[in-house]
């Protein structure tokens, strides 16, 4: 992935110099390695942060995403469950972890991502970009692009959720990058190739 990572990390260094104890800044720095496609460095950095402060939920949530990208689904589920518990989520949210475990046990990676999609667009939920991640990972680009189109065409989603500007950076959408529709989508949302 191309990017201006040196500049980005320099900005993070400045932020950390201003607030060296900020777990938010530290976890965002660790997660930036995902955008750089250095999943091992991201996992290592997040593990260190969790050791430093195991009660900071964002580090667990980010580590869950890293494990998912590394196809280590049991650990991804465990870390997301920890993040939800730390954040004080109720039983209705915590039961999602069990649904993920059952889906993965039954159908492996496909089951995991089908559950992921359902949790983001099932029962009236509205998170099409996240559903696109699942479809991209399942090798279903037509459905992934349909979800991205929905996100682009829904001004409420685009403005209030802020997900569209990150589509180029998300590792979950990497399977779409060689599709001829990808550069067209980037142009439509004003992202450079």
Listed by start position, the domains of the chain span 1-89, 91-193
The CATH architecture that domain 1-89 belongs to is Alpha Horseshoe (1.25)
Structure tokens at 50: 């969790």
Task: Indicate the range of 31-35, 90-94, 171-175 predicted with least confidence.
Answer: 90-94
Percentage of residues of the chain with pLDDT beyond 90? 68
This prediction has a pTM of 0.88
* Residue that the structure tokens 């529709």 belong to: 181
161 pLDDT tier (thresholds 50, 70, 90): low
| Sequential DSSP letters for 45-60 | HHHHHHHH-TT-HHHH
Alpha-carbon dihedral of residues 172, 48, 97, 28, nearest 10 degrees? -50
How far is residue 67's CA from residue 52's CA, in Å, rounded to a whole number? 19
Q: What mean pLDDT is predicted for residues 11-40?
A: 94
User: Per-residue pLDDT tens for 80-125?
Assistant: 999 999 999 888 888 999 999 999 999 999 999 999 999 888 777 7
129 pLDDT tier (thresholds 50, 70, 90): confident
Region of 139 (left: φ > 0; alpha: ψ -120 to 50; beta: rest) is left
């Amino acid at each position: 992935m191309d990017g201006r990572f040196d500049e980005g990390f320099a900005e993070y260094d400045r932020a950390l110099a201003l607030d060296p104890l900020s777990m938010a800044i530290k976890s965002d720095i660790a997660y930036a390695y995902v955008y750089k496609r250095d999943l091992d460095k991201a996992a290592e950095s997040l593990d260190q942060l969790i050791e430093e402060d195991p009660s900071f939920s964002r580090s667990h949530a980010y580590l869950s995403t890293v494990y998912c990208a590394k196809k280590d689904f049991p650990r991804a589920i465990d870390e997301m469950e920890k993040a939800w518990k730390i954040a004080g989520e109720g039983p209705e949210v915590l039961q999602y972890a069990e649904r993920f475990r059952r889906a993965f046990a039954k159908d492996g990676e496909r089951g995991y991502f089908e559950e992921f999609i359902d949790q983001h667009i099932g029962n009236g939920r509205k998170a099409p970009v996240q559903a696109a991640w699942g479809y991209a990972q399942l090798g279903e680009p037509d459905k992934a692009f349909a979800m991205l189109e929905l996100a682009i065409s829904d001004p409420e989603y685009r403005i209030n959720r802020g997900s569209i500007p990150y589509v180029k950076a998300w590792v979950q959408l990497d399977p779409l990058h060689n599709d001829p529709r990808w550069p067209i989508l980037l142009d439509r949302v004003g992202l450079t190739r």
